[in-house]
């Protein structure tokens, strides 16, 4: 199975900060990586797919980069609505699909 | 609009089975597969499996093989996931999601509590 390791696990930040979350894969997944945002009690929301393609309707302050085994999600200027947990997910292998352990962005 | 609406919360005793539903609307059901993902309290996301609505083919997480079954009813645009021989470790929120290679539309989740 392809393992995904996110860092940090928790991130303390303030409104307006630039925030970067890293996701490392245990093997080359090219650009088959997605990022999701999840708020408490809600389903995850797709933010980015193919490592850097912004899903329709997602604010431009979110961006993704990387290829191979190292990826980043960047929020250029943190907004109050962005305090949430973020997950990366690989889909290079569908059996199984795997997620990172999550990064909680808190005040 | 495209949406997935899941069935309501369930409480089950250890050893029982649960069958959850996920009703799709706003798109052609056959054109996309359905994923199932679960999330134990305070934990991360765990992929449970996938079903092709078009062919009925399935892939299940290795740890759930033999206990999980996924199926669809195209006449009602509904996907189902049945999990058998429940234990307390199966207490979680269960999500269905549309397969666009990624999980682009999610259901609201169904809480399953396994308790004696």
CA–CA min distance A32, chain B (Å): 9
Taking CB atoms and an 8 Å cutoff, what residues of chain B touch A101? Answer: 44
pLDDT in tens, A10-59: 999 999 999 999 999 999 999 999 999 999 999 999 999 999 999 999 99
Who among A43, A91, A98 is closest to B101 (CB)?
A: A91
Q: Do the Cβ atoms of B59 and A95 come within 8 Å?
A: yes
**Residue B95 to residue A96, Cβ atoms within 8 A:** no
For the stretch A47-56, what's the b/e string if a residue is b when 16 or more beta carbons lie within 10 angstroms of its beta carbon? bbbebbebbe
pLDDT of the residue at A94: 76
d(CA A70, CA B17): 40
* pLDDT values of chain B reduced to their tens digit, one per residue, 116 residues: 999 999 999 999 999 999 999 999 999 999 999 999 999 999 999 999 999 999 999 999 999 989 999 999 999 999 999 999 999 999 999 999 999 989 999 999 999 999 99
- Kindly report the average pLDDT of chain A as a whole number: 96
Position A93 scores a pLDDT of: 79
Query: Residue A95 pLDDT more than 90?
Result: no
How many Å apart are CA A101 and CA B17, to the nearest integer?
A: 28
Cα A22 to Cα A107: distance, rounded to the nearest angstrom: 19
Could B47 and A97 be called an inter-chain contact, meaning their C-beta atoms sit closer than 8 Å?
yes
> What pLDDT digit, counting tens, does each position of A60-85 carry?
999 999 999 999 999 999 999 999 99
């Amino acid at each position: 199975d392809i393992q995904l390791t996110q860092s940090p696990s928790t991130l303390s930040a303030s409104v307006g900060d630039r925030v970067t979350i890293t996701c490392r894969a245990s093997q080359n997944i090219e650009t088959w990586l997605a990022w999701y945002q999840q708020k408490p009690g809600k389903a995850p929301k797709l933010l980015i797919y193919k490592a850097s393609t912004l899903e329709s309707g997602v604010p431009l302050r979110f961006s993704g980069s990387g290829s191979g085994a190292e990826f980043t999600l960047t929020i250029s200027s943190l907004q109050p609505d962005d305090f949430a947990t973020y997950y990366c997910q690989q889909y290079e292998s569908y059996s199984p699909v795997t997620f990172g352990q999550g990064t909680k962005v808190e005040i | 609009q495209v949406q997935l609406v899941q069935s309501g919360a369930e409480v089950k005793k250890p050893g029982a089975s649960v069958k959850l539903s996920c009703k799709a609307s706003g798109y052609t059901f056959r054109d996309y597969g359905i994923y199932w993902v679960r999330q134990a309290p305070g934990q991360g996301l765990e992929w449970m499996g996938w079903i092709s609505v078009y062919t009925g083919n399935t892939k299940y997480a290795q740890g759930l093989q033999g206990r999980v079954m996924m199926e669809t009813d195209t006449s009602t645009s509904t996907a189902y996931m049945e999990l058998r021989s429940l234990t307390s470790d199966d207490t979680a929120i269960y999500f269905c999601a549309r397969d666009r290679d990624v999980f682009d539309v999610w259901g609201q989740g169904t809480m399953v509590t396994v308790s004696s």
